[in-house]
Amino acid sequence: MKKIEIIVGFFVLIGLVSIFYLSFRIGKSEFIGEKTYELNASFSNLSGVSANSRVEIAGVKVGSVKSIYLNDDFRAVARIEIPISLFLDDDTIALIKTSGLIGDRFIELLPGGSGIQLEPGDYITDTQPAIDLESLISKFSFGGLTDSK
């Protein structure tokens, strides 16, 4: 009887370690995460970015996209979550990037230096949509590049 208790105790211990490792390391649960604040960034095109997409600064993941909606001017607005310890100035640039040629899209932030801090809920005004690969290729192949000049 005593032996069974030790074995089961050991088993449950291994199980709990596995569950916590899965939830908090691999799953990155935010129960114990840092507090965050939200910023908005409006783009002319957000195709390929979705909720939970990464937000990076200089290639380091700093936050994620919380939700995406269309505003009254038919511009796509991404609500992004950023840790409270990270201060961004109001001339920060947000651009859509693609990891690899066909990889998933994420938002890259280029911090500015204006000295005026963005408050929670503020808009990042300076944005740049994703490079539309298809139109780029069509421009190349039909000579559209020279036309646009």
Size (the chain), residues: 149
Per rule CB under 8 A, is residue 145 in the interface with another protein? no
Nearer to another protein, 102 or 116 (CB): 102
Taking CB under 8 A as the binding criterion, the range among 3-11, 39-47, 80-88, 116-124 that sits at the site for another protein is 3-11
CB of 20 to another protein, least distance (A): 9
Residue 56: φ, ψ to 5°: -125, 150
**d(Cα 111, Cα 79) in Å, to the nearest integer?**
17
**d(Cα 35, Cα 79) in Å, to the nearest integer?**
16
Nearer to another protein, 52 or 141 (CB): 52
Per rule CB under 8 A, is residue 32 in the interface with another protein? no
**d(Cα 94, Cα 84) in Å, to the nearest integer?**
18
Give the type of residue at 79. R
Secondary structure letter of residue 68 according to DSSP: E
Among 59, 100, 115, 143, binds another protein (CB under 8 A): 100
Structural contact between residues 59 and 47, judged by C-beta atoms closer than 8 angstroms: no
Q: Helix, strand or coil for residue 25?
A: helix
Per rule CB under 8 A, is residue 89 in the interface with another protein? no
CB of 64 to another protein, least distance (A): 9
CB of 5 to another protein, least distance (A): 6
Q: Which residues bind another protein (CB under 8 A)?
A: 1, 4-5, 7-8, 11-12, 14-16, 18-19, 21-23, 25-30, 52, 54, 61, 100, 102
